[in-house]
Structure 1
Amino acid sequence: MDESPPGGSSEPEGGGPRSPSAPRCARLRAVEPVLLLATLALGVQNPLLTQYLWARLDNGTAGGEGGGGCGGNGSGSGAPAGQEDLEASVAHWNLYINLAGFFVGLFSVTLFGPWSDHAGRRPVLILPAVGMALQAATYLLVMYLQLPVPYLLLGRILSGLSGDYNLILAGCFAYVADVSDRRARTFRVAILEACLGLAGMAASIIGGQWRKAEGYLAPFWLVFAAGLCAALYAAFCLQESVLQRQQGRLFTLRHYMAVYRLYTAPSRGRTWKKLALYSLAFFLVITVHFGTRDILILYELSSPLCWGSDLIGYGSAAHYLTYLTSLAGLWLLQKCMEDTWVAELGLLSNILGLGVIALAATTPLMFTGYGLLFLSITATPVIRSKLSKLVDETEQGALFAAVACTEGLCSLVATGVFNSLFPASLHFMKGFPFLFGAVVLLFPAAILGWIEIQDSKPEYSHFEDLPSPIQEAAD
């Protein structure tokens, strides 16, 4: 980017586009509450929306106590009559609702992300939080007025137009890149990702128990309030991290070109290959995360598990707990190995966990699969940090816009592939999508390992110039 500090002064240790005379007050520079609130809203909303669709499409009622796929304790060996049709219908509506937001959000994120390099990070945190609140308000209207299910698409589109949750992620990670020390960035990014797990775990327990006690309406009011609080915090409490802000047009192709130039600028040299390979690895990892998460609730609702909303809540909490265990694992393993090999262990943990879940027919085996995922999130903060270190400190906004664009594409592909694969595989192996995800993760593991091996070669290249012992003896 061309917004370098006046007089060519070097960046401060925090590494953001800041003026040398800017105040160093650290008060209200914590972006974590925005991510916590937004993740709380998303964590409550997504499982309950799937259960709401199940109850609505099965019984034609919005406020019933439905949400358990089989009405039993999970001991049944076969699916009730008509359940496969219901599973396919819910999976397809999940697909339609997600596609409605992702098609719009993919372009919104890549527009607002680079714009934040000029306008600041706070606007790109406020806007999507407001959009999430509007989406929850639309869902509440559908439930109160018993509107047809297609009206849910309207709320999803409103959220997508404002950038959706992916823009909040991009803004938060760019904010952390602005204020963090380059040397400690991997762990700082991991802390931010741990916030995802903390909020998601709380949301899963609260959402499942609250829905069981009072139905769907009260939890969705919490979703609305969390989105609104995130917007208010970003607007009135959060200090801006980009202090050299400039006025500029929002609707211009320059913002898209800023993302494009990250990978194509001649000055990049061979760095663009690493950017492309790390982006590909990130795409595959996040696609599997999103895709398997989308169908987990449906997998647990139906036979043979037949979980109710309470067990679904505990299962989601166990899934989100992996963010915290991954943070602890990253902190410990960084003391004895390179970040890349920590990420490789995380991918191995993910592969093993998905393999067990694919074969789970009982509740204990399902929770065993969740337990094996205890390091599964270590790969994403490592890849984000390595991407961040490949670009200049003044290009973090454009970089995380590219990452957000990748995440939006991940959501699109994951929703299309896994929500289509699940109903298609019901007749031969219900857990096949999880097995498919485990196989896909072998590719990013190979990419990360290859880059690390190639990077380690120059460290020993100087030995090639030394004479051999035989030559020394001859001399």
Structure 2
Amino acid sequence: MGPGVTCPWSGRLPRLQVRTWIEPVVASTQVASALYDAGLLLVVKASFGGGGSSNHSTSPSPRGTLEDQQQKAISNFYIVYNLVVGLTPLLSAYGLGWLSDRYHRKISICVSLLGFLLSRLGLLLKVLLDWPVEMLYGAAALNGLCGGFSAFWSGVMALGSLGSSQGRRSVRLILIDLILGLAGFCGSMASGYLFEQMAGHSGQGLILTACSVSCATFALFYSLLVLKVPESVAKPSQELPSVDTVSGTVGTYRSLDPDQLDKQSVVGHLPSPGKAKPPKTVIALLFVGAIIYDLAVVGTVDVVPLFVLREPLRWNQVQVGYGMAAGYTVFITSFLGVLVFSRCFRDTTMIMIGMVSFGSGALLLAFVKETYMFYIARAAMMFALIPITTIRSAMSKLIKGSSYGKVFVILQLSLALTGVVTSTMYNKIYQLTMDTFVGTCFALSSFLSFLAIIPIGIVAYKQVPWSQYGDITEK
């Protein structure tokens, strides 16, 4: 049917296989999400008073009573909102993952995108009709009952894993995260300006929320009408892996793959399919490391929006958008990090590098006093995305492709459930410490990030006895 299309991460593909790329859905969904997140924060802030520029304060005290009351009101809103967002997917996400494995891979993606669109419509109606801010809890519940982010992202990771071989899977999944980050960066950069396009309490934010709804609508219809499920290319028993005669290792990409042969026996015969069983202790340790690290990340992400609105930073709408955009640059730097590190280090080493990066940045964030210090702390977090993505990649190499949907959704639900607990805990800690040491939450996140290195270090130690992880050739 004509010449192929060159794809930088998949080699030459037939023209029709462009429809298997999940990136357009990820990009449009994340633009909608970035616009929604900024709009939600600014709309909630306006609903609790202080909707004007935060560069000027009517209180002579930088920690005035009105500002503290507003901070607590916003924090309490997010406690309930995050509980709804985190708990409601528990009712449906696993079922969607099971249906995706059994019937069609797009089920979890399409259903979750429907809920995603409904929640964005909820914010648009709140701005249009000036409804009470509590109605956003209902919109979030609709999103969660349709699977929420847990079902959506597990579906995306399943499609990304199916369309890539084991040797390139870490790069493939981090590339999807890169698209997510670039889209989020663009959406966040535009969010502050779009929010200010219409003056007045009722009209402010209308264009922003309308753009978010438009992007969510595009994502839903693209996934329904255009997106096709790729055929699995991860078939380990098809051919003998080639050997690097100089180093004695297999190929060029190091991977956490216990089904690969030892360096000494790689030239012999391939293991029979189904004989090698994935070590449960390794999978359990990967789960523990992911959960502890996610506690640190979620806690920081939840507190940062509140932190930048009050002293010592006191950002306005445009600065809030810039700050959110800075958070998305980690997707770019993490992608570049995986490209480089995957040629030199094992998966476990890359995971620990990312944890150290985030832990160091969170510690710096605890002592931020000026805006430039905030961006320095963000820069220190440049590899913060590597751990969770690489853990997913490692798990995909330890399980069968037919179980991707269930395993990924269990991991995502575990992260979501612990995230709910973390969100509540961190918001309460923030309320109690914002007048004493406002960086307490960030210091706690730094500690948890370094603590998460322990189970990953055990995995790295356990690798040596039962497998010399080599590299898998990509041609």
Change (3 A) 1:94 1:68: farther
**Deviation string, structure 1 residues 7-37 (Cα, Å, up to 9, x no partner):** xxxxxxx9xxxxxxxx995230101111111
Aligned match of 2:359? 351
Query: Which structure 2 residues correspond to residues 306-385 of structure 1 after superposition, within 5 A?
Result: 306-385=314-393
**Deviation string, structure 1 residues 101-143 (Cα, Å, up to 9, x no partner):** 3221122111111210012121211111111111111122222
Aligned match of 1:224? 213
Q: Retained in 1: the 8 A contact 2:361–2:377?
A: yes
AA partner of residue 179 (structure 1): G
Mapped partners of 1:88, 1:338: distance in 2: 44
Aligned match of 2:25? 34
Point out the more displaced range, 450-459 or 176-185: 450-459
Aligned match of 1:255? none
AA partner of residue 220 (structure 2): A
Change (3 A) 1:276 1:268: farther
AA partner of residue 163 (structure 1): G
Aligned match of 2:447? 439
Aligned match of 2:181? 197
Mapped partners of 2:366, 2:276: distance in 1: 42
Shift of 1:165: 2.0
Q: Retained in 2: the 8 A contact 1:208–1:310?
A: yes
Shift of 1:459: 5.6
Which residue of the other structure, out of 283, 296, 306, is the alignment partner of 1:298? 306
TM-score after normalising by structure 1: 0.81
Q: Retained in 1: the 8 A contact 2:170–2:338?
A: no
Gaps of 5+ in 1: 1-13, 15-22, 60-65, 244-266, 461-475
**Deviation string, structure 1 residues 430-473 (Cα, Å, up to 9, x no partner):** 1111111110112221111111112123468xxxxxxxxxxxxx
Shift of 1:411: 2.9
Mapped partners of 2:231, 2:100: distance in 1: 8
Point out the more displaced range, 139-148 or 155-164: 139-148
Q: Retained in 2: the 8 A contact 1:283–1:410?
A: yes
Query: Which structure 2 residues correspond to residues 204-223 of structure 1 after superposition, within 5 A?
Result: 204-214=188-198, 215-223=204-212
Q: Does 1:412 align with 2:420?
A: yes
Mapped partners of 1:107, 1:420: distance in 2: 26
Shift of 1:221: 0.7
Aligned match of 1:237? 226
Change (3 A) 1:454 1:68: farther
Which residue of the other structure, out of 33, 40, 43, is the alignment partner of 1:49? 40
Task: Indicate the percent of aligned positions where both proteins have the same amino acid.
Answer: 22
Mapped partners of 2:192, 2:149: distance in 1: 21
Query: Which structure 2 residues correspond to residues 62-81 of structure 1 after superposition, within 5 A?
Result: 66=51, 68-69=53-54, 71=56, 78-81=62-65
AA partner of residue 34 (structure 2): G
AA partner of residue 28 (structure 2): L
Aligned residue-pair number: 409
Change (3 A) 1:242 1:96: farther
Mapped partners of 1:273, 1:24: distance in 2: 43
**Deviation string, structure 1 residues 220-246 (Cα, Å, up to 9, x no partner):** 111111111111000011012479xxx
Mapped partners of 1:309, 1:339: distance in 2: 39
Gaps of 5+ in 2: 1-8, 199-203, 233-274, 469-475
Which residue of the other structure, out of 181, 186, 189, is the alignment partner of 2:170? 186
Mapped partners of 1:445, 1:53: distance in 2: 37
Q: Does 1:140 align with 2:131?
A: no
Which residue of the other structure, out of 269, 280, 289, is the alignment partner of 2:288? 280
Q: Retained in 2: the 8 A contact 1:28–1:238?
A: yes
Q: Retained in 2: the 8 A contact 1:132–1:224?
A: no
Point out the more displaced range, 99-108 or 296-305: 99-108
Mapped partners of 1:211, 1:390: distance in 2: 45
Q: Retained in 2: the 8 A contact 1:67–1:301?
A: no
What secondary structure is seen at the aligned counterpart in 1 of 2:443? Answer: helix
Shift of 1:152: 1.2
**Deviation string, structure 1 residues 413-434 (Cα, Å, up to 9, x no partner):** 2322222221121122111111
Q: Retained in 2: the 8 A contact 1:354–1:435?
A: yes
Q: Retained in 2: the 8 A contact 1:134–1:158?
A: yes
Mapped partners of 2:186, 2:348: distance in 1: 30
Q: Retained in 2: the 8 A contact 1:54–1:67?
A: no
What secondary structure is seen at the aligned counterpart in 1 of 2:436? Answer: coil
Q: Retained in 1: the 8 A contact 2:118–2:139?
A: yes
Q: Retained in 2: the 8 A contact 1:38–1:165?
A: no
TM-score after normalising by structure 2: 0.81
Aligned match of 1:473? none
What secondary structure is seen at the aligned counterpart in 2 of 1:82? Answer: helix
Mapped partners of 1:167, 1:312: distance in 2: 29
Change (3 A) 1:345 1:458: same
Shift of 1:176: 0.9
Shift of 1:286: 2.1
What secondary structure is seen at the aligned counterpart in 1 of 2:229? Answer: coil
Q: Does 1:88 align with 2:88?
A: no
Mapped partners of 1:138, 1:372: distance in 2: 36
More helix by share: 1
